[in-house]
Amino acid sequence: MRGVIAGTGGYLPARSVSNDALAAEKNLETSDSWIVERTGIRQRHFAAPGETASAMGIAACRDALAQAGATVDDVDGVIVATATPDSAFPSTAARIQGGLGVTRGFAFDLAAACTGFIYALSVADAMIRAGQARGVLVVGAEIYSRILDWSDRGTCVLFGDGAGAVLLRAAQAGEGDRGLLSTHLHADGRHGDILQVDGGAGSTGGTGVVRMAGREVFKHAVTKLASAVDEALAANGLGYDDVAWLVPHQANIRIIEAMGRKLHLPLDRVVVTVDRHANTSAASIPLALAEATRDGRIKQGDLVLMEAIGGGLTWGAALARF
């Protein structure tokens, strides 16, 4: 057995904030041209007061179930990748499970920062292959607007809020070659301090906001993502020409373009949402998948390569046939 992405879903908060509006609202010494040139970001969405990661995740899950033609009776578990949970416990996954009306199976959160969706997808696929589940909702849900230092213009302009989800459903391996072919996960905790949240529930200090050494992260991103991509293709006996679509983590247009060049893919075969969504961390890949499956870019039979890097450092890649 293997997991097949049967449905995708996404949710973005109603409030969209342009670069100029953000600079004015937060009194930042920056400009639209400065942000666009360095990141590709033009706007982002921010959650409303009282809006939670679980509420956004529930909406994304309902969207994914609808696209798959499935109901809550098809769900054996919920795995949520998030760095901004509603609470330490119960998990955001349990809250989503309850909100959807799923009354059986498992629910848990997973923390791998921006790589979280790839990690969660890998865990869900492994459970399906082991026979522990036949339908798993894999969710990325983030509200980074609540963990940003608004005086740090190099970091606070990069992030947005949102949620994305997929329904991973069991199918017989080899059945039209559809499904998740492989996932490849990595971490190196020696570099954890270059991208972190400074403090948290179990910390003895810190401010609880995102801290990032941007140049260091960029240096690691391109080399580590390229290695993970090569690893995924080699594991399946495939080459760059076999990839129909690259769906990368949406952190920075320069990193995205570098990965497109690595795969010899023109930018029109790379799903890009960073200009409109900014960096939504674990939600960025499933949000991009939801957009590209709905507008007809990603079609059944397409080979899709997903990759991400995040705090930890964590990084990884996943290869799926839609």
**Three-class SS state of 42:** coil
Active site residue 27: no
Residues 6+ apart with CB under 8 A from 291: 10, 271, 273
Residues 97/61, Cβ–Cβ less than 8 Å: no
Q: Has 114 been annotated as catalytic?
A: yes
Residues 6 or more apart in contact with residue 79 via CB below 8 angstroms: 93, 107, 108, 109, 110, 120, 123, 124, 136, 137, 138, 139
Catalytic residue among 184, 249, 252, 277: 249
Of the candidates 179, 191, 155, the residue with the CA atom closest to the CA atom of residue 281:
155
> In the block, which residue shows the tokens 């990884």?
316
For the chain, helix (H) and strand (E) counts, in that order, are 10, 13
Q: Is the Cβ–Cβ distance between 10 and 286 less than 8 Å?
A: yes
Question: In the block, which residue shows the tokens 């930042």?
Answer: 28
Is 279 assigned a catalytic role? Answer: yes
Q: What is the DSSP string of 159-224?
A: B-EEEEEEEEEEE-TTSTT-EEEEEEEEE-GGGGGGEEEE--TT-SS--SEEEE-HHHHHHHHHHH
Which residue among the candidates 114, 156, 184, 252 is catalytic per the annotation? Answer: 114
Which residue numbers are catalytic? 114, 249, 279
